[in-house]
Structure formats: structure tokens, C-alpha cells
Amino acid sequence: MDATAQRVPSTAKAAADPQALVYRHSITTRITHWLTALSLLVLVMSGLQIFNAASFLDASDKTDPARRVLSIDGGQTQSGANIGTVTLLGHTFNTTHFLGFTDDGMGGEGPRAFPGWVTLPGYQSLADGRRWHLFFGWILVLCGAAYLIVGFARGDIQKIVLRPADLPKLIPMQLYYLRLRKDPPHYGKYNPLQKMAYTLVLFAFVPLIIVTGLALSPGVDAWLGPLPWLLGGRQFARLWHFLLMLVLLGFVGVHVTLVLSTGVVNNMRSMITGLYRLGKHEGLDA
């Protein structure tokens, strides 16, 4: 048994004391959590670096300006002024100094989709961006595999998956978050909205973003050529990959907001030391 777990209340004691300090997250969960957070940050920044090399998205099997969904461009007006633009679904917006014509990562500005301060590396380099992306892509995959294997063995995955019994609690839990309900429904280690989000992320969005990423790899194309075709072509794969990135960023944003709004000290302590103080509506089981 983990030595830390021996110093905190047992399940029986925690049940008798609703606000007990319990051992909530295993060492594997904590390590993979922080490595995953680092990997996602690097993957987004290196992914934006890669996007800069072809700063458009087409809903097509190949490059087709007639089916362009998004483009970020930089150049000059007829008067010679520098300008950056974003064109989304045929609507163009001036985004000079933010997108299109912005920080070039070398102390100046130039035509560049995403600025140097959000890309990795900061200077424009498709080759280096791909190296960072590939390396941390495998870190993410290995972290996910370790988390799932250990989680199934410990029974943690079973507690995080949304079940039919959780469905009636989804709306009451949302009303509680919106301050339209005084108390949330009773829940275990994870509340029903957390279960829904984690189930979708772990078993839908992350696998899909990995598959679409593999479809964009020239090396994978060499031995798994039908994969891009199954996704509608390489340009469609780029589109799906970019949209899934936005979905994951949205999930991370909501996750961080809830961590900050539901007890940042308690939540951070649980993910650093494993120790967590139960709220009055929380339990240990699913």
C-alpha cells in the first residue's frame, strides 16, 4: 500500500466524515497529468508553427481555394501599409499585429499567420516545428497508455466513465454550476459533467486527434496510405485536426476555470500530493 494512503482516513472513515482528507490521485495519475499538460502546450505551439507553413484550411480532399474555410494572410495594402487578415467562411477581418502580419519571432514583424510568441520555435521553421510536434505527440500517447492501463488496474477509469445512472444528474449539476440550484446532486469521485467531459476527451477526441495527426504524417502515409482517404483527404484531415485542437483547448479552458472556482488550493494539492479534502456533496466511489 502507498505510504501516503496509510496516513489518511480509510474509505470507512471518509464515509463517516464527509469532509475528510483522502488520498485521491495515484502517483501515476499525477505524473501523467502534468506530462500531458506539458505535452498539450508544446503540441499546440508547435502545431501553430506547422500551420504557419500553409496558413489555410480547406474542406476538400486537396488544396482548393473555392472550398476554403479559413485563411490567415499578411501583406501590404495599395498604399503600402502592412496588413494582416483572417478570412473565415468568406468573411474577412483586419487582424494586423495579432494574426497575419505580426511578431516574426526575431524581434520584428512580418507576414506570418500566428505570432512568434505562441509558436515553437518562435522563429519560422517547419522542420523544427515538426520535430517538437512528433516528440511530444509520442509523450502524449505514452502518458495516455500509462494512465489507462494503471487506471483500469486501480479501478479509476471505471469511476471516470459516464454511466446511464449519471444521465439524470447532468442537468441538475449544470444548474448548480450556473448558480440556479443551491446544491448539486450527490456524486462520487467525479461529478456527472466531469464524467461526460472526460469520457468524450479520453475515448473520442484524443483518439481522433491522434488519428488525424497520423494522417498528416508523410511517414505514416508511406505504409498506411488509405488513412487520409478515409478522412476525406489530407486537407480534410488538416481541418479535422485543427478543429479537434480547438475542442481540446476549450476543454482545458473549462477545466482550469473549474479548478480555480471550486477550490484552487484543494484541487492543486490533490494533483501534487494526492491529498484532497472532500466537499459535503462528494464521495469516494463512482
Going from the N-terminus, what domains does the chain have, and what CATH number goes with each? 3-26+127-277 (1.20.950.20), 56-113 (no CATH)
Q: If pLDDT is split at 50, 70 and 90, which confidence band does 213 have? A: very high
Peptide bond into 65 cis (omega under 30): no
Q: Is the dihedral of CA 198, 226, 137, 57 positive or negative?
A: negative
Q: What is the mean pLDDT of residues 257-266?
A: 90
Q: If pLDDT is split at 50, 70 and 90, which confidence band does 228 have? A: confident
3-state secondary structure of 78: coil
Residue 200's pLDDT is 95
pTM score: 0.86
Q: If pLDDT is split at 50, 70 and 90, which confidence band does 246 have? A: very high
Q: Is the pLDDT of residue 20 over 90?
A: no
Q: If pLDDT is split at 50, 70 and 90, which confidence band does 195 have? A: very high
- Distance between CA 174 and CA 256 in Å, rounded? 17
What rounded mean pLDDT belongs to the chain?
Answer: 88
- CA nearest 35: which of 144, 151, 157, 197? 144
Q: If pLDDT is split at 50, 70 and 90, which confidence band does 36 have? A: very high
Residue 59's pLDDT is 95
For residue 7, CA distances in Å to 23, 165, 207, 273 come to 9, 33, 38, 12
Question: By percentage, how much of the chain surpasses pLDDT 70?
Answer: 91
Q: Buried b / exposed e across 16-54, counting CB within 10 Å, b at 16+?
A: eeeebbbbbbbebbbebeebbeebbebbbbbbbbbbbee
Residue 285's pLDDT is 61
CB atoms under 10 Å from CB of 142, counted, come to 13
Residue 3's pLDDT is 42
Q: Is the pLDDT of residue 27 over 50?
A: yes
CB atoms under 10 Å from CB of 195, counted, come to 23
Grid cell of 140 as nine digits? 502524449
Angle 69-70-71 (CA atoms, 0-180°, nearest 5)?
A: 135
Q: Is the pLDDT of residue 12 over 60?
A: no
Q: Is the pLDDT of residue 252 over 60?
A: yes
